Amino acid sequence: MRTKCAVLGSPIEHSLSPALHLAAYEELGLSDWSYERHEMDEVGLPDFVRGRDASWRGLSLTMPLKVVALGLGEVDPVAGLVGAANTLIFDDDGRRVFNTDVGGLVSAVRGGLGAGRGDLATVVVLGTGATARSTLASAAELGAGRVIVVARTPSRAEALRPLALALGLRLDVQPWGSPLPAADLLVSTVTAGAADAVAADAVAAAPIIFDVVYDPWPTALASAAEHLGVAVLNGLDLLVGQAVLQVRLMTGRDIDPAVLMSAGRAELSRRAGA
């Protein structure tokens, strides 16, 4: 029997996850595994999950499904802490949900920091959504003591304060477009184009810029950073980092991140040439 996995979300057609996971299956010799793509909203997700048969092993969940997923299985502590899950695993004894965004972001940043770099003290985060919540947890794991959240609606950022307290982080909230203090890392968690107007000021705030967008690329934020010689990480770095953890959860096997990175770059090149 073929073992099935899939990525769900809306919109989902752009997702690189099939390219990454299928490359992992090929590398691992899992010829009887498949990985699909399904357009899915929050209303439809519970019925979809309940309708899977014994051939299904795992789901990758992207926006807008990361919160509703918490009610669909036993919640891993990290997912419960940040209030967002991006992975659902079907086990013989039930369903479990996980957050691999936190670990993926941590591994991507550590790779970007390179050898000899210490912990981060201050992190600036653009945006207040589910990825911002995961970024706070990642910042704490990376050693940060202070996070500045920059929000179009500062009152929405106040919802992050209990999480920051639980993580032992000092949380400061600033309005969109306000002058930014010096930081060790700036993470943009907003959608493509949303940070364009603040790109020039944002890249001057930190020596490393992490823009979670991967397509279209480069973003205005990435271009401004590269112009100043600032190190840039992008959404593919995050996608690969979290997918490595998803592959482990779904298959029980480890995959070299370089395999997934190569597959992701090849797919983006294919799309650009199409």
Catalytic residues: 66
Query: Strand locations in 183-260, DSSP E?
Result: 185-188, 208-211, 231-234
Tell me the torsion sign for CA atoms 233, 235, 238, 243: negative
Tell me the torsion sign for CA atoms 143, 148, 151, 155: positive
Please, are residues 256 and 115 in contact by the beta-carbon 8 Å criterion?
Answer: no
Cα–Cα distance, 244 to 20 (Å, whole number): 9
- Would you give the distance in Å from CA 168 to the centre of its chain? 22
**What does DSSP say about strands 56-61 and 87-91: parallel, antiparallel, or unpaired?**
antiparallel
Residue 227, φ and ψ in degrees, nearest 5: -60, -35
